[in-house]
Chain A
Amino acid sequence: MNAFDEMQGTGAGAARPLYERVARWLSESPPETVAARRAQAELFFRRIGITFAVYGESEQTERLIPFDIIPRLIARDEWALLSKGLKQRVQVLNRFLNDIYGPQDCIRAGILPADLILQNPQFRLEVVGRPPPHGVYVHVAGVDIVRTGERDFYVLEDNARTPSGVSYMLENREAMMRLAPDLHARYRVAPVETYPDQLLATLKSVAPRGARGDPTVVLLTPGRFNSAFYEHSFLADKLGIELVEGSDLFVRDDKVFMRTTQGPQRVDVIYRRVDDDFIDPLVFNPNSMLGVAGLMSASEAGNVTLANAVGAGISDDKAVYSYMPELTRFYMGEEPLLNNVPTWRCREPSALAYVLDHLDELVVKEVAGSGGYGMLIGPTASKTEIETFRRKLSASPEQFIAQPTLALSTCPTFVGAGVAPRHVDLRPFVLTGADEVHITPGGLTRVALVEGSLVVNSSQGGGAKDTWVLDD
């Protein structure tokens, strides 16, 4: 598969103009300097303790995400295209969620089938007819984008539930400024350090209308055993807000309070990194120790804002995702600016038949899956893996979708034997407040470190790069 290379484009000759200074920097840097910088990078991340827990690895539950010091560059016009498309996308998501939890026009108009929504476990009956403050469901989205050509960008996932990774966007920049200040100085790179301020402003803007004065915002974490705990504490620190667990909060008379040494303090906005299922044991999973009893009553009474809103997760369903182009036309009356990956919905018999006939070419994913778990990548799968998926698909087709294997773009990356192209994706973070959408210029670039691999997830051995959106 001939992938577009971020540095070389489609040809083998000179670097794209955008990358000329990177190419020169690479050729000028003696191998010893490069080796020393890579060692420093490892040390830097070890010292700040940025780790990621990997489920399913019993011996080593936490590990570093390998950091690559060759940045991924995005030209200004490319970013303009992307950010316009992202804004449109997140507006559609919010309209869609307001609709399905409200009048359900999209179902009535036949845009998507009723059962896909009504019988979806992520469609939370508990919040139907109870719009969140200011009508915002998805305050933070971490949209996964891949590139297949000069102007061809595809959205892989919208990640509207509780996207993580933004701490890497910030840390990777800090690492780059220390490790390669000489390269950074050769470009005008848009800053990402504004993200925490923007996030806090976004969260405050969606405080309930009745909140008095400066709203109190907290970050609710499942605790230190969660794979993203590092990020939770990092963000709370950067935002200057309290990092709380469920037991630090309580609900009294439909109002939420935080226990402090000065007594109870009212809470207006909760940036929650706890899933819907665990957020209130009186309404969802009764055995949850991670949530706050009465939180949904407080939310229904309009006394607290949960970000992201309960129920937003249905838009992460991969069968729902497949309707984004139709939903964009329906709600916005315009064409989608970013492509959707063509998707076979295995719930449809003709699609299922096609997928079963082409398993060795396709990527098959669970509709409710995430993190690169439980998927089949046909072209690199073994016969046994393909047969296992064939059985799963036949048993419960509605649980799966399939997509063509995309030729993700590659980016030069340091590997054992020097510099080589490796596949990358991009996760920019989109903030939606009461009045505006804000997108920090940059994002998390993940890189599949294994040659030829298309799986960039950190849980599956992916690494990370700094992402430079250029101002000139």
Chain B
Amino acid sequence: MRLRIRHSTVYAYEFPIRSAVQLLRMTPRDHEGQYVGAWRVEIEGEGRLRAGEDSLGNVTHALYVDGPVSKIRVTVHGEVDVVETHGVVRGAIERFSPEVFLRETSLTDLTPDMLAFLAELDPQGADRLAFLHRLMAALFARIEFRAGATVTETTAGQAFLQKQGVCQDFAHMFVALARRAGVPARYVSGHLFRHEGAIEQEAAHAWAEAFVPDVGWIGFDVANGVCPTDCYVRVAVGLDYLGAAPVRGSRTGGGRENMEVALSVAGKVQ
């Protein structure tokens, strides 16, 4: 599948800002089954980008904007060829032993409710892969997908309690529970081509990956209850949303901020 992605984020400010600094993780990398063609990061107006890489191997861009500026537009676009691997990720940059991804973070907290939920899934069963599928299915059945039900600061425990969330929350809950069962797990941000034809999307996607010995890292798109296919583009990984977020920013001045995302993911079978 060849996926054509165009992802624009526009920040509009009530007053001109004096300056802004952003850290972008919006550029996918190659690995087996994912081949990134021409990929560009563009800034409309004043603004300078410095490319880098974080310690997990994600491509980063530091964006520096000097004010006064009332609007910042960041656009990434490009084409990625994806081959079906049934969710198995091979050939990606792996600088850490999987054990690192057993860490609990403040966004991947666990509540007593979640522990009880986990206990019913035979978390210590011999077949780790089967457990992970049980976990995905159980979360998919229990939690309702509802846009706007949560915010970016919502933790796994909070989303579990309110039984609603968006892809970020599904990924956090899965990661938190898998880790508690001793399975290294991490957060993935990326894009999804939706077969039903909705090329224009409201937000980028997120899912989880878990590590299974002898197989490696395997993706679990918990919000959709499936493993990633050739419709998915992995962009960044982290311990949680904060480590893989497409944008983390800070600004001085500006008053209220209005952010609009325009995202299109189009697919073409090759």
Of the candidate stretches B48-56, B142-150, B160-168, B199-207, the one touching chain A is: B48-56
Contact A282 B55 (CB under 8 A): no
Q: Does A131 contact B (CB under 8 A)?
A: no
Total number of A residues with any Cβ neighbor in B under 8 Å: 25
Chain A residues in 8 Å Cβ range of B262: none
Q: Does B8 contact A (CB under 8 A)?
A: no
Chain A residues in 8 Å Cβ range of B48: 253
Total number of B residues with any Cβ neighbor in A under 8 Å: 27
Contact B99 A119 (CB under 8 A): yes
**Of the residues A114, A121, A301, contact of B50 by C-beta under 8 Å:** A301
Q: Does B226 contact A (CB under 8 A)?
A: no
Q: Does B64 contact A (CB under 8 A)?
A: yes
Chain B nearest Cβ from A124, distance in angstroms: 9
Contact A126 B250 (CB under 8 A): no
Please name the residue on chain B nearest to A114 by beta carbon: B99
Q: How far is the CA of A119 from the CA of B252 in the complex (A)?
A: 35
Q: How far is the CA of A281 from the CA of B23 in the complex (A)?
A: 10
Among A118, A125, A281, the one with the most B-chain Cβ atoms within 10 Å of its Cβ is: A125
Of the candidate stretches A11-19, A292-300, A376-384, the one touching chain B is: A292-300
Q: Does A154 contact B (CB under 8 A)?
A: no
**Of the residues A118, A130, A250, A282, contact of B100 by C-beta under 8 Å:** A118
Chain A residues in 8 Å Cβ range of B62: 254, 294, 297
Contact A297 B23 (CB under 8 A): yes
Please name the residue on chain B nearest to A251 by beta carbon: B21
Q: Does A128 contact B (CB under 8 A)?
A: yes
Contact A127 B19 (CB under 8 A): no
Contact B52 A115 (CB under 8 A): no
- Which residues A269-327 have CB closer than 8 A to chain B? 281-283, 286, 293-294, 297, 300-301
Chain A residues in 8 Å Cβ range of B99: 114-115, 118-119
With contact pairs A253-B48, A294-B64 given, residues A129 and B250 touching in the complex (Cβ less than 8 Å): no
Contact A252 B66 (CB under 8 A): yes
**Of the residues A118, A129, A293, contact of B21 by C-beta under 8 Å:** A293
Chain B residues in 8 Å Cβ range of A297: 23, 50, 52, 60, 62
**Of the residues B19, B50, B97, B249, contact of A282 by C-beta under 8 Å:** B249
Please name the residue on chain B nearest to A287 by beta carbon: B153
**Bitwise interface map of B from 216 to 242 toward A, beta carbon under 8 Å scored 1, else 0:** 000000000000000000000001001
Contact B50 A254 (CB under 8 A): yes
Q: How far is the CA of A126 from the CA of B248 in the complex (A)?
A: 15
Chain B residues in 8 Å Cβ range of A129: 55, 95
Contact A125 B100 (CB under 8 A): yes
With contact pairs A119-B102, A301-B50 given, residues A283 and B96 touching in the complex (Cβ less than 8 Å): no
Chain B residues in 8 Å Cβ range of A127: 55
Contact A125 B239 (CB under 8 A): yes
Chain A nearest Cβ from B150, distance in angstroms: 16
Q: How far is the CA of A26 from the CA of B54 in the complex (A)?
A: 62
Q: How far is the CA of A115 from the CA of B55 in the complex (A)?
A: 19
Q: How far is the CA of A256 from the CA of B108 in the complex (A)?
A: 33
Q: Does B22 contact A (CB under 8 A)?
A: yes
Q: Does B4 contact A (CB under 8 A)?
A: no
Chain A nearest Cβ from B102, distance in angstroms: 6
Contact B242 A119 (CB under 8 A): no
Chain B residues in 8 Å Cβ range of A286: 242, 248
Q: Does B103 contact A (CB under 8 A)?
A: yes
Chain B residues in 8 Å Cβ range of A119: 99-100, 102-103
Chain A nearest Cβ from B51, distance in angstroms: 11
**Of the residues A125, A253, A281, A293, contact of B55 by C-beta under 8 Å:** A125
Please name the residue on chain B nearest to A283 by beta carbon: B23
Q: How far is the CA of A128 from the CA of B250 in the complex (A)?
A: 24
Chain B nearest Cβ from A283, distance in angstroms: 7
Q: How far is the CA of A390 from the CA of B52 in the complex (A)?
A: 48
Q: How far is the CA of A129 from the CA of B97 in the complex (A)?
A: 14
**Of the residues B19, B95, B249, contact of A128 by C-beta under 8 Å:** B95
Q: How far is the CA of A286 from the CA of B99 in the complex (A)?
A: 25
Q: List 25 A-B contacts (CB under 8 A).
A: A118-B96, A118-B97, A118-B99, A118-B100, A118-B102, A119-B99, A119-B102, A125-B55, A125-B100, A127-B55, A128-B95, A128-B96, A251-B21, A252-B64, A253-B48, A253-B50, A282-B21, A282-B22, A282-B248, A282-B249, A293-B21, A293-B250, A294-B62, A294-B250, A300-B52
What residues make up the interface of B, taking CB atoms closer than 8 Å to A?
19, 21-23, 48, 50, 52, 54-56, 60, 62, 64, 66, 95-97, 99-100, 102-103, 239, 242, 248-250, 252
A252-B19, A293-B249, A294-B250 given; 5 more Cβ-contact pairs under 8 Å: A115-B102, A118-B103, A125-B55, A254-B62, A294-B62
Task: Sort A-B residue pairs by CB-CB distance and give the 6 closest, nearest first.
Answer: A293-B250, A294-B21, A282-B23, A293-B21, A297-B62, A128-B55
What residues make up the interface of A, taking CB atoms closer than 8 Å to B?
114-115, 118-119, 121, 125-130, 250-254, 281-283, 286, 293-294, 297, 300-301
